[in-house]
A = this chain, B = another copy of it.
Amino acid sequence: MNEEINFEKNFVQLKELLKNNEINEFRESFLNHHLYDQSRFFLSLDPVERLEFYNLMSPKEIADIFDLFDSDDIDINPFVDEMSKEYLGEIFDSIYSDNAADLLANLEPETMKEILDSMDAEESTEVKRILHYDDETAGAIMTTEFVSIVANQTVRSAMTVLKAQAEEAETIYYVYVIDSQNRLLGVISLRALITSHDDTLISDIYNDHIIKLDVNEDQEKIAQYFRDYDLLAIPVVDTDNKLIGIVTVDDIIDVIDEEAASDYSGLAGVDTEDVSQNPWQAASKRLPWLIALLFLGMGTASLINHFDSLVSKASILAVFISLITGTAGNAGTQSLAVAVRRLAIRDEDKKNSLMTMILSELITGLITGLVTGITIFIVVSIWKHNMILGIAVGTAMFCAITVANLAGSLIPILMEKLGFDPAVASGPFISTMSDLTSVFIYFNIASLFIHYFN
Of the candidates B34, B159, B298, the one whose C-beta lies within 8 Å of that of A379 is B298
Interface pair B331/A286, CB less than 8 Å apart: yes
Knowing A264-B267, A428-B330 are in contact, say whether A68-B230 is a contact too (CB < 8 A).
Answer: yes
Interface pair A286/B321, CB less than 8 Å apart: no
Instruction: Answer yes or no: A336 CB below 8 A from chain B CBs.
Output: yes
By a CB distance below 8 angstroms, the chain B residues around A213 are: 1
Cα(A432)–Cα(B297), bound, Å:
17
Contact flags A204-247 to B (C-beta < 8 A → 1, else 0): 00000111111000000000011111101000000000000000
Give the interface segment out of A48-56, A118-126, A273-281: A273-281
Of the candidates B33, B260, B287, B320, the one whose C-beta lies within 8 Å of that of A301 is B320
By a CB distance below 8 angstroms, the chain B residues around A294 are: 323, 327, 372, 375-376
Instruction: Answer yes or no: A290 CB below 8 A from chain B CBs.
Output: yes
Of the candidates B297, B334, B340, the one whose C-beta lies within 8 Å of that of A327 is B297
Interface pair B227/A364, CB less than 8 Å apart: no
Instruction: Answer yes or no: A448 CB below 8 A from chain B CBs.
Output: no
Tell me the residues in window 338-393 of chain A with beta carbons closer than 8 Å to chain B beta carbons: 338, 340-342, 345, 349, 360-361, 363-364, 367-368, 371-372, 375-376, 379
* Number of copies of this chain that the complex holds: 2
Of the candidates B293, B312, B322, the one whose C-beta lies within 8 Å of that of A325 is B322
- Tally of chain A residues near chain B (CB < 8 A): 116
Interface pair B159/A172, CB less than 8 Å apart: no
Instruction: Answer yes or no: A304 CB below 8 A from chain B CBs.
Output: yes
Instruction: Answer yes or no: A445 CB below 8 A from chain B CBs.
Output: no
Interface pair B319/A305, CB less than 8 Å apart: yes
Instruction: Answer yes or no: A427 CB below 8 A from chain B CBs.
Output: yes
Instruction: Answer yes or no: A144 CB below 8 A from chain B CBs.
Output: no
Determine the residue in chain B with the shortest Cβ distance to A164: B195
Instruction: Answer yes or no: A132 CB below 8 A from chain B CBs.
Output: no
Determine the residue in chain B with the shortest Cβ distance to A428: B330
Q: Which of A287, A290, A331 has the most CB of B within 10 A?
A: A290
Determine the residue in chain B with the shortest Cβ distance to A336: B268
Q: Which of A226, A321, A360 has the most CB of B within 10 A?
A: A321
Q: Which 5 A-B pairs have the closest CB atoms?
A: A268-B337, A260-B260, A279-B363, A283-B367, A270-B334
In the complex, 17 of the A-B residue pairs with CB atoms within 8 angstroms, ordered by the A residue number, are A1-B212, A36-B230, A159-B194, A162-B194, A166-B195, A173-B191, A263-B264, A268-B336, A275-B338, A283-B367, A290-B401, A297-B323, A311-B318, A315-B318, A321-B321, A322-B322, A333-B427
New contact pairs (10) apart from A273-B341, A280-B367, CB-CB < 8 Å: A1-B211, A227-B257, A265-B337, A267-B337, A268-B334, A283-B368, A289-B334, A290-B330, A301-B320, A326-B431
